[in-house]
Amino acid sequence: MTAPIVLETDRHLKWPAFDRLEYALMILCGICLTGFTLSTLIDVVTRESGHPLLFLQEVTSTFFTYGVFVGASVATRRNDHLFLSALTEKMTGATRRFFEVFNRSVVLLVGLFMVWFGWQNVITGLGSFRMPSMLPMSYLYLGIPMCGALVALFSLEQIVNGLRNGFTPIIGDGPARDVSAGAAGDIGL
Amino acid sequence: MILSNALLLGLMTALFLTLGYLGVPVAFALIAGVLVGTAFTPITLQSMMAQLFNGIDSEALMAIPFFLLVGELMTSANVVIRIAELSQALVGHVRGGLAQVTTVFSMFFSGMSGSSSADVAVLSRTMAKPMAREGYRPEFTAALIAAASTIAALVPPSIMAVVYGAIGNVSIAGLFLGGIVPGLFIGFGLMIYCYFFGPRGFQRPRATFPQLVTAGRAAALPMMIPVILLGGIMTGWFTPTEAGVIAVAYILLIVIPILNPAHLRNVPRDFVLAGMIYSLPLITIAAATAFGWMLAYLRGPIVVSGWIGAIAGDSAILTMFCLVIVFVIVGDFIEPVPAIIIFMPVVNALTDQASINPVHMGVVLIVTLAFGLITPPYGLALLMASKFLDVRFSGALKASLPIYLIFFAAIAFTIFLPEVILWLPRHVFPESVGCFKSPTGPGYICP
C-alpha cells in the first residue's frame, strides 16, 4: 500500500478544486528533492574527480530552499505540520468552532505577513547578487512570499469549509493517516 | 522600546506556547510570537522575514533531507523487515522475546534514520501486531517503542546532532561519535529492563549458526548504510550532507534493485513524500531561528546565563546540571529542534564560562532532549506511539515511568563521565573535540 499524493483526510475542509494545486505542489516537492539530490551527488562526483563545478552549490541551495518553502505551504493544506498539541480538538460546540477559526486565522495572518514583508525582502534583494551566477538574491527570497500566499490561501480554504461543514472530522471522510497500515504491516514474527 | 525586555520575552514566549497548545502549527506559533515581539521594538518586520531565510541557509542543515529520505526509502521499500529478522535471530531467544527484538531493531534502524519520529513509525508498523499477538500489553509496547526510538536522537545520523552542530558551531562528527555510548547505554538499559522487569514473552529457540548467517546475509546490504554514513564523515571524505547523498545513491542503485526491484517504480512517490516531509523540521528551524534571534536581541540569553552562572559559578558539573534541568523543563513543552536553536546562545555562553568541551555539553543536552521525547505533556515519541497503537497516553505514560530511571542513569553517566563520552571522538576523529596535531611528532594534543 502506498500513500496517496493528495491526502483524503479532512476532506470536509477542502475544496476539490484545490486538489490539483496540492498535487502540483507535492510534485514540486519531489522535483526539488530530486534536483537537490542530483546536484549534491554531481557536486561530490565532480569534486572527487578533480573537476569541481562551482555553480552546483548555488543550484543545490536553490532546490533546498524552495523545497522547504513549497513543502511548508502544502503541509498547511494537509495538516502535516509539527504541532505541540491540539487542545482545540478536545473542545466541542461553539467553543471549538471559535478556536478552530482563531487558530487558522493566526496562520492566515502569519501567511499575509510573510507575503507583505517577504515581498519587501524580494525588492531589497534586487540590489545584492549570488555568486557565481550573479543573479539577484531576490529569486531566492521569493520563496517566502510565495509560501505565505499559499499558506494564507489554504488557511482561508479551511476556515470557509470549516464554517460551512463543521470542523469535526466526518466519519468515513477518507482514510486516516495511519502509519501502522504501511507496507510492512506484519512481518510474520 | 515601549515594553521592558523581560516583559517582551515573556509576551513572546507566552504567545508561542498558548498558540502552540491551542493547535497552531509550531512554526507559525513561533513566527506569530516573533512578529508581535518585533512590533514593540525598533526592528523592522522585513528583517525578521530575512531571518527565516537565514535560519535554513546552512550547509550542515542540508543533511536533514537525505537522512529523512534514507529512512523513507528503507521503510517504503520494505527493506527494514530484514533488519527486524536479524534482530530476532540475535535476541529472539532471550527472556523478553519480542521486547528484546524491538530494542535491538531500534538500535540498528537508528543508525539509518536519524529521526525518532521515523523510528516510532517503523517500529509501530512492524512490531506492534506481533507483540500484541504474543500477549504484550499495548501500553507496555507503546512505552518501549517510544523509549527505544529515542536512540535515533543520539547515534549517527542523529538529526538533533546535526541541528545542534550547525547552530552551535560544534563538530557534528564529534557529536555523532559522542552520542554512540549513551545510545548504547539506553539500548542495553532497555534490554536489561525487559529481561528482569518486562513481560516474559514468548521465547523462541536460539537461532542456529546457519540461521544467524542467513539472517545476517539478508540484512547485510541495508546494514552497510550506517557504515557509509559514519565512515564517509570520519574519514574526512564527505561532509554529513554528502555522506547522506551517497547513502541515498547506495540505496537507489544497490539496495532496492537487489532486494526489492519491484519497488523501483514507487521511488518517485517516495521522493515526493520525502520532499514534503523534510520541509517540516526545516520550516520550524527557520521560525525558531527568528525567535532565537529576537531572544538574543532582547538579551534573554545573557539574563538566563547570568542566573545559571550565579548558581553554578565555574563548576562544569553544576553548570551542566542546571542546563539539564532547564532542558528537561523546556523539552517537556516544546520540540527539541526549536529548543536547541532558541537556547543555543545560553548554552554557548555557559559552555565557555565553565570551560566545558562543546561536544560533551552537546551530548549531555541531546540525551536530555531525547528524554523529553517520552515525558509529558509533550513527549512526541510517546504521543506518536500511543496514537499508532491506539492506547491512552496516560496508560503508555504509566508504563514508561520505570523506563525513566534508565534515562536518569544515562544523563548522569554523560555528565559525570566525560572521558567515556569523549573517548570515541578523541580516538577516531581527534579534531572534533578540539585536539590538534602535535608540532613535535606524531599524535595529537588534546585540551
Sole residue written with cell 515511568: B401
Half-sphere exposure of A57 (CA within 13 A, CB side): 11
Q: Minimal CA–CA distance to B370: which of B403, B419, B322? A: B403
Do B422 and B178 contact (CB within 8 A), yes or no? yes
Full-prediction pTM beyond 0.90?
Answer: no
> CB contact, 8 Å: B234 with chain A?
no
pLDDT digits over B323-360, tens only?
A: 999 999 888 777 788 889 888 988 998 999 899 999 99
Mean of pLDDT over chain B: 90
Q: What ranges do the domains of chain A cover? A: 12-169
Between A84 and A23, the more confident residue is: A23
> CB contact, 8 Å: B72 with chain A?
no
> CB contact, 8 Å: B12 with chain A?
no
Angle at B149 between CA B77 and CA B27, to 5 degrees: 90
pLDDT band at residue A143 using 50, 70 and 90 as cut-offs = very high
Cβ contact, residue pair A103, B22, below 8 Å: yes
- Give the DSSP letter string of chain A: ----SS--TTGGG--GGGHHHHHHHHHHHHHHHHHHHHHHHHHHHHHHTT---THHHHHHHHHHHHHHHHHHHHHHHHT-S--S--GGGG--HHHHHHHHHHHHHHHHHHHHHHHHHHHHHHHHHTTSB-TTT--BTHHHHTHHHHHHHHHHHHHHHHHHHHHHH-SSPPTTSS----GGGSSSS----
Q: Minimal CA–CA distance to A140: which of A50, A65, A39? A: A65
Q: What are phi and psi of B445, to 5 degrees?
A: -110, 125
Asked casually if ipTM beats, i.e. exceeds, 0.95, the reply is no
Integer Cα distance of A89 and B8 in angstroms: 29
Q: Minimal CA–CA distance to B127: which of B114, B111, B140, B112? A: B140
For residue B20, the chain A residues in CB contact (below 8 A) are: 83-85
Cβ contact, residue pair B25, A78, below 8 Å: no
For residue A32, the chain B residues in CB contact (below 8 A) are: 275
Cβ contact, residue pair B45, A83, below 8 Å: no
Half-sphere exposure of A104 (CA within 13 A, CB side): 22
Give the containing element (helix H, strand E) for B423. helix B418-428
DSSP lists the bridge partners of residue B91 as: none
pLDDT digits over B51-101, tens only?
A: 898 888 888 789 889 988 988 898 888 888 899 899 999 999 999 889 999
What does the block give as the cell for B28? 507559525
Best residue of B22, B104, B126, B246 to probe chain A, by most A CBs closer than 10 Å: B22
Is A180 a residue whose pLDDT tops 90? no
pLDDT of residue B383: 83
pLDDT of residue A179: 40
Q: Minimal CA–CA distance to B201: which of B302, B349, B48, B95? A: B95
Integer Cα distance of B3 and B5 in angstroms: 7
Is A175 a residue whose pLDDT tops 70? no
Of A78-82, A84-88, A124-128, B92-96, which range is least confident?
A84-88
pLDDT of residue B33: 94
Task: Please compute the mean of the pLDDT values over residues B225-232 and round it to a whole number.
Answer: 86
- What length is written for chain B? 447
pLDDT of residue A188: 35
Is A173 a residue whose pLDDT tops 50? yes
pLDDT digits over B272-305, tens only?
A: 999 998 898 889 889 988 988 888 888 888 888 8
Could you say which of B76, B124, B278 has the minimum Cβ distance to residue A180?
B124
pLDDT digits over B303-316, tens only?
A: 888 889 899 888 99
Please count the other Cβ atoms lying within 10 Å of the Cβ belonging to residue B13.
18
